[in-house]
Amino acid sequence: MEKVRVAMAMSGGVDSSAAAAILKEKGFDLVGFTMQLWDHRRSIPAGDDYRSGCGCPVEHLHDAREVAARLGIPHYVVDFRKEFEHTIVRNFIESYRMGLTPSPCVQCNSLMKFSHLFDMAKEAQTSRIATGHYARVSYDEKNGRHLLLRACDRDRDQSYFLFELSQSQLAMAMFPLGNLEKDQVRAVARKYNLPVAEKRDSQEICFIPDGDYAAFIERYYDEIVGSEVEQPFPPGPIIDTEGRMLGTHSGIHHYTIGQRRGLGIAHASPLYVLELHPDGNTVVVGERSRLGRRRCRVEKINWISIPRLIEPLRVWAKIRSRHEAAPAAITPLDNENVEVIFETPQSSITPGQACVFFQGDVVLGGGWIARFIEENHCQRS
């Protein structure tokens, strides 16, 4: 019997490397692909030393190449840096300027990694694509749809980041780590004597290894966005929920909903960012108790387990990657937008973040949190 040929995404990390080893052991014919997405030397201010372990592409490329050689599979490096900058980084910068908090890892998976891996799979004449994500896929014969499921290891589950995958992508997708825990994955890497077996996981957004989003946005705004705006990061007022001015900010890109640090305001009790108003360039702050909300609008929905939502439905909704999914009701507003009403108030529902809906282990679908649909905390002029 002819072996099934698989396009394997190889990042140079332990997860994708172990996933490749698992598929190789099972008899699949693998072709490894490593995508160059960002030159990290651009992310480090002039004069700063490059910190080890922060995701150097050269290191990752070398590790992916070494793993492929160890497993005896062909390996190709493909340069998508221009596409990544235009599609992911530009959106990241402009979203923060508009008072939104984007989820670049979600968009990178759908618009870059899986989209391009899907195309490369066709060119390489492979019938499947595989990654090192902690998730699972199955097929529902009853409704004829491919399903995305949570990983068995809930602490490692990455299905939240994959909710934008299409039916055609899920039909080809393989996630060899979906049934494993992290210690089992490292055991696989050790078994095959892979050089990345003890390599630590990356934590920050890949193109901002030092975690300073605001500095990155200011440094690359002109180069990447290329706008002729005279003052792209204007200062503005910080006000409370009654509209009283408490201070001045140096640009709303410094803030996100729920933020406490960096406000620079002396107050009797801790203050948190409640809202960002880009039209008035205003930051609204208040006490922690004001962060809880029950309702939000979610837009640009991608349905997975169903073709569309036609009536209200009970789900578990997750409003950010590390949020504990909470019970909620979703009601269709139109084909691409829904209203979400949680049973209990959820802290820091943040416009720009992804909201993903689950029923048990199955990902129903998900979309993007819009600006608040309930009455504002303060009156705007």
Residues 234 and 278: beta-carbon distance below 8 Å: no
Give the H/E segment covering residue 301. strand 292-303
- In three state form, how does the secondary structure of 169-217 look? HHHHEECCCCCCCHHHHHHHHHHCCCCCCCCCCCCCCCCCCCCCHHHHH
- DSSP strand pairing (145-150 vs 135-140): antiparallel
Residues tagged active-site: 108, 206
**Which residues have C-beta within 8 Å of that of residue 291, sequence separation ≥ 6?**
257, 258, 272, 274, 347, 348
**Which residues have C-beta within 8 Å of that of residue 54, sequence separation ≥ 6?**
40, 202, 204, 209, 210
Q: Which two tokens stand for residue 24?
A: 């190789």
Type of residue numbered 374: E
Taking the CA atoms of the chain, what radius of gyration do you get in angstroms?
Answer: 22
